[in-house]
Amino acid sequence: MTAMSSESHLARPNLSSDLVTAVVQMIGERGLERGMRLDSQRDLAAHFGVAVPTMREALRRLEGMGVLAFRHGSGIYVGENFNRSVVPNIALPNADTQRLVELIQARALIEPAIAAEAAATRNPEHITHLQQQLDLARECVARQDPRLWKVNVDLHRAIAAVAGNRIVEEVLDSLLLIHAEDQRQILHLHGDPQADFEEHEQIVHLISEGETKKATDLMREHLMDVAEAIRGQG
């Protein structure tokens, strides 16, 4: 795809990937760095010549990748992953069912061992953060918040943080970020946010209690259940 200048209006506002690419290009052109504030959603929509809901969707995709950060009551800021070496392909087309299943299977090879290490380590500070992520997921389920997919991704990242190995955390973090948009499709196809939350809740409980084997087994079962649900929708 030919890169378009961020100063020109987008000719095809229905193509979210084009808009996402243009926002990233704009950040670079303006020399913005992590923690710097962007224009409002309305101003950005006017800048790119798109409707506010279309702009919001693109910005939320970038938030899911960690390229942007939303601060309630404050605005939109450049996120921690803007200049990251391993980042999502922001123009990646929607995944088919097979690729989504393969993504979950890849996670199933990694995350049960991470859950076991988290249950063995149980760093108190990281456990507190994990509980906070679980509470946020509970609120999103109750409100039917469309950002639940991102909260769930952050919960899995928080489990890796509890394990206490920064390299392992970065490996999982990169996997989840590379396929950030796929993770949203996975939750949609799974189709049962409440059941998904209840499994997350049980995994967090087992990790907090130091139940190494049970946490390992349930994490594997949880991911394979998700894979089966996606297959059923294919």
Instruction: Please write the tens of the pLDDT for every residue from 23-75.
Output: 988 998 899 988 899 999 999 999 999 899 889 888 988 887 778 989 888 89
Checking 38-42 for CB contacts under 8 A at 24+ apart, the result is 38/68, 38/75, 38/76, 38/77, 38/78, 39/76, 40/75, 40/76, 41/76
d(Cα 99, Cα 105) in Å, to the nearest integer?
10
pLDDT value at residue 14: 46
Give residue 118's pLDDT band: very low, low, confident or very high (50, 70, 90).
very high
Fold of 97-233: Four Helix Bundle (Hemerythrin (Met), subunit A) (1.20.120)
pLDDT value at residue 66: 78
Looking at the chain, which residues constitute the CATH 1.10.10.10 domain(s)? 1-93
d(Cα 153, Cα 147) in Å, to the nearest integer?
10
d(Cα 198, Cα 2) in Å, to the nearest integer?
44
Give residue 180's pLDDT band: very low, low, confident or very high (50, 70, 90).
low
pLDDT value at residue 6: 44
Q: Mean pLDDT across the chain, nearest whole number?
A: 84
pLDDT value at residue 230: 82
Task: Give the residues across from 68 on adjacent strands.
Answer: 78
pLDDT value at residue 15: 54
pLDDT value at residue 187: 73
Looking at the chain, which residues constitute the CATH 1.20.120.530 domain(s)? 97-233
Task: Give the residues across from 37 on adjacent strands.
Answer: 77
Fold of 1-93: Arc Repressor Mutant, subunit A (1.10.10)
